[in-house]
Amino acid sequence: MKKYLGTAICLIYSLIKFSGMKLLLVKSFKFTLLNIVSPLTEVEIGRNATLTFGKMIRLKSGSKVRVRAGAHVEIGANTFLNHGCMIISHESIYIGQEVQLGPNVLIYDHDHDFRSEDGLKGLKYKTSPVEIGNNVWVGANTVILRGTKIGDNCVIGAGSIIKGQYPPNTIIVQKRETEIIEYK
């Protein structure tokens, strides 16, 4: 019973929050009525940016979606962002349908351009779109970097750092070795 009450509260909260955002950002924000969003999530949309949510998006507490000026983010139907996930776009991030993001997954379509004339304080970025296909499962604490394209039906192991092209129907695991060194 407690679970259903919490879900109902999140559903009502997201309806109120997203309806208010839609009133303020008429063309920039698209969503359906059935989304379940924790009150502890953050959604920011910059000037001339767009954010599109499909049906039944679920965002757990601590999740952040930030769409910077001129950027575009689209999240497909039945997609789940677990606690602490962060999506920050300066260009374009597309997440397909039925995608499951484990806790603390980070998705960035940009890097700081530290070689710019002003260095890091100049806030210049190198950007490249990120695409995540349908039915993808991303394990906890994974970082997905700019220029990444993940095909449909992929599984990404926890703690991975992902950059590049990954074909559909693959399991992506980054192996780590632990070395134990004795000392006196």
Cα-based distances in Å from 136 to 28, 83, 96, 149, 176: 26, 17, 8, 12, 22
| Residue 110 annotated in active site | no
In a domain, 178, yes or no: no
For residue 9, name the pLDDT band (cuts at 50, 70, 90).
low
In a domain, 22, yes or no: yes
For residue 158, name the pLDDT band (cuts at 50, 70, 90).
very high
- Residue span of the structural domain in which 146 resides: 1-172
In a domain, 182, yes or no: no
CB 132 within 8 A of CB 106: no
For residue 37, name the pLDDT band (cuts at 50, 70, 90).
confident
Which pLDDT does position 71 carry in this prediction?
Answer: 95
How many domains in the chain?
A: 1
Question: Which residue, among 49, 57, 46, 97, has the nearest Cα to 73 in the 3D structure?
Answer: 49
In a domain, 107, yes or no: yes
In a domain, 181, yes or no: no
Cα-based distances in Å from 171 to 111, 130, 152: 26, 18, 11
Which pLDDT does position 175 carry in this prediction?
Answer: 85
- Give the CATH number for residue 123: 2.160.10.10
3 state SS of 14? helix
In a domain, 16, yes or no: yes
CB neighbourhood size of 184 (10 A): 2
Question: Which residue, among 111, 61, 105, 69, has the nearest Cα to 87 in the 3D structure?
Answer: 105
Please enumerate in sequence order all residues whose Cβ is within 8 A of that of 86, keeping only pairs 6 or more positions apart, or say none. 63, 64, 65, 66, 105, 106, 107
Which pLDDT does position 176 carry in this prediction?
Answer: 81
In a domain, 177, yes or no: no
Average pLDDT, integer, range 2-27: 56
In a domain, 156, yes or no: yes
Say which of 72, 90, 110, 112 is annotated catalytic: 112
